[in-house]
Amino acid sequence: MNRHERETEPERIWPGDPRVVMLLGRQDPPAPEARIRGSRFVYSLYMEGRCLLFHTLTRQLIAAAPHLIAYFSGDRAFSASILADETLARLYGEHFLVPEDADEAQLYLEVKEILVVREELPRDIVQYVILPTTACNARCFYCFEQGMRYRNMTAETVAETVRFMLRHRPAGDRPIHIHWFGGEPLCATDNIDRICAGLTEAGVAYTAEMTSNGSLFTEALIRRAADVWKLDEIQITLDGMAEEYARRKRYVSGVEKPFETVIRNIHGLIAAGIRVTIRLNADENNLGEIYRVADFLTAEFTEEERQRLRVYAHSLFGELGDGLAACPVNAGTEALEERVLEINDYLGRLGLIRNDLHDLFTLKSHFCMVTAPACNVLIDAEGQLFACDAMPESMRYGNVRTDIDPEAWKRVTAPCAVSPECRRCVFLPQCTEFSRCPSRIAYDSCCRIERMKLDRQLRAAFAMHREAQRQQKEASSVPD
């Protein structure tokens, strides 16, 4: 093999998701008269003189010679004779090249169905999202619950909720997991206490997480959260430093120095053994503030504390609602998404986000509550049962008093057909085909945003691969 051939030979960066690779196996050679094309699930990216080829179904990543991009541009088809080339034959065997008439969308659905069956998800309910209240002590201008009537779980609804959970108690004393949501869950700690007490009395093992603004914790409440509520994780949002944070949260319960209070509580939660995720909500008016918060958190928390701290930025989507007149939001734009990705890169360099590429190289079988409904349920403050935490009426299928409505359940769990444009999309295997999703955005927009995200992930994966090679080379050159 000469030097040019060695340079053009594809280099395996990641072998793919072993479950999918094993399921598909090597593709059988085609008939001599067959026509061959590039897989619609291959995403290409030029980097450092190489063409990165990422298969979004198998999750394999290889670096190949740039001229090979010709086989993955457009819908060009080629004679099967091209497979006389050893490199192209390898790409065909590993599904980067496929027969011209291959129905890859159907192949994806079949693979995913097998993965779901193999996961053997429990038929009992083991995951709960519970809203003990929809009341909140803040008035965030971007809250998706704006305009909703505030409701607290009544004592009767709390009791019915416990009875519902006991009726659906998992077989074999399997533990359940509760996500306390709201509103602000800490506005109804008595309801959390009663539900936890009912489960404990019945001998049901459980763990919990919470989404909270973090302002209402006290030292005693943190101890209760860890010891009684079994809280092991909490998500708290910061939108800026002290002044900007107070302006956006608009607390109505007289929280003194809210930013400082929340930071103090985060220290306390970490000390109690509870992992804290800080979400930085970004729009085009607070990007500088988000960077300031990132720098502050790096200095504020010790290296040991940061082992239980994760920080990430997320763009604000949706309408402004009745929020700050002086702070209009241009939310959900691609330009904003690009800036948010840059912030997350910065957070990674600060060590506030771990470079975990597991999600990139693993094919998801479920994307949300609705795509695994049998073991998930949301219970709102009135005891209504939903299959989606956005709580659209179309996703309601009963209540804790009368239990699950079989007809509503059938409607909610009915499979969705993949839309024609999505069947040809390179991102289908890492997207949801659930077309009734209330948060689903326009096809062309979601593709462009996915492209921006994947570009960054692949560049990071390639850089980590090169760094590992460099370290290996240095280690092998050190004399004994």
Beta bridge partner(s), residue 379 = 130, 385
Summarised one tens digit per residue, pLDDT across range 63-85 is: 999 999 999 988 899 999 999 99
Q: What is the pLDDT of residue 324?
A: 38
Q: Residue 381: inside a domain, yes or no?
A: no
Do residues 66 and 159 both lie within one domain? no
Q: Which domain holds residue 357?
A: 120-374
Residue 444 — very low, low, confident or very high, per pLDDT cuts 50/70/90?
low
The last residue of a domain, from among 102, 135, 165: 102
Q: Pick from 142-156, 373-387, 439-453 the range whose average pLDDT is largest.
A: 373-387
Q: Residue 411: inside a domain, yes or no?
A: no
Which tokens is 461 given? Answer: 């994966």
Do residues 138 and 286 both lie within one domain? yes
Alpha-carbon gap, residue 379 to 131, rounded angstroms: 6
Give the residue-averaged pLDDT of 371-396: 88
The least confident of 337-346, 377-386, 388-397 is 388-397
Do residues 284 and 136 both lie within one domain? yes
Q: Residue 426: inside a domain, yes or no?
A: no
Q: Residue 257: inside a domain, yes or no?
A: yes
**Is it the case that residue 475 has pLDDT exceeding 90?**
no
Do residues 83 and 126 both lie within one domain? no
Q: Residue 302: inside a domain, yes or no?
A: yes
Give the residue-averaged pLDDT of 195-217: 97
Do residues 85 and 228 both lie within one domain? no
User: CA-CA distances (angstroms) from residue 17 to 203, 358, 359?
Assistant: 38, 10, 10
Do residues 83 and 181 both lie within one domain? no
Please, how many CA atoms are within 13 Å of residue 423, restricted to the half-sphere of its CB? 11
Q: What is the pLDDT of residue 124?
A: 84
**Is it the case that residue 318 has pLDDT exceeding 60?**
no
Alpha-carbon gap, residue 113 to 109, rounded angstroms: 6
The count of domains in the chain is 2
Alpha-carbon gap, residue 138 to 250, rounded angstroms: 6
Alpha-carbon gap, residue 29 to 427, rounded angstroms: 26
CATH of the domain at 330: 3.20.20.70
Q: What is the pLDDT of residue 331?
A: 44
The last residue of a domain, from among 374, 395, 418: 374
Q: Residue 277: inside a domain, yes or no?
A: yes
Do residues 89 and 124 both lie within one domain? no
Q: Residue 107: inside a domain, yes or no?
A: no
Q: What is the pLDDT of residue 321?
A: 41
The last residue of a domain, from among 374, 409, 443: 374
**Is it the case that residue 332 has pLDDT exceeding 60?**
no
Percentage of the chain with pLDDT > 90? Answer: 67
Summarised one tens digit per residue, pLDDT across range 245-273 is: 999 999 987 788 999 999 999 999 999 99
Give the residue-averaged pLDDT of 72-101: 94
Do residues 125 and 92 both lie within one domain? no
Residue 222: name the closest of 188, 267, 177 by CA.
267
Percentage of the chain with pLDDT > 70? Answer: 90
Do residues 148 and 230 both lie within one domain? yes
**Is it the case that residue 440 has pLDDT exceeding 70?**
no
Average pLDDT over the chain reads 89
Q: What is the pLDDT of residue 442?
A: 55
Alpha-carbon gap, residue 226 to 234, rounded angstroms: 11
Q: Residue 74: inside a domain, yes or no?
A: yes
Alpha-carbon gap, residue 476 to 480, rounded angstroms: 9
Do residues 296 and 246 both lie within one domain? yes
**Is it the case that residue 11 has pLDDT exceeding 80?**
yes
Do residues 280 and 179 both lie within one domain? yes
Which own/partner pairs from 383-389 qualify as long-range (CB within 8 Å, at least 24 positions apart)?
Answer: 383/153, 383/157, 383/160, 383/161, 383/164, 387/412, 387/413, 388/437, 388/438, 389/129, 389/181
Do residues 313 and 171 both lie within one domain? yes
**368 vs 286, higher pLDDT:** 286
**112 vs 293, higher pLDDT:** 293
Give the residue-averaged pLDDT of 168-183: 93
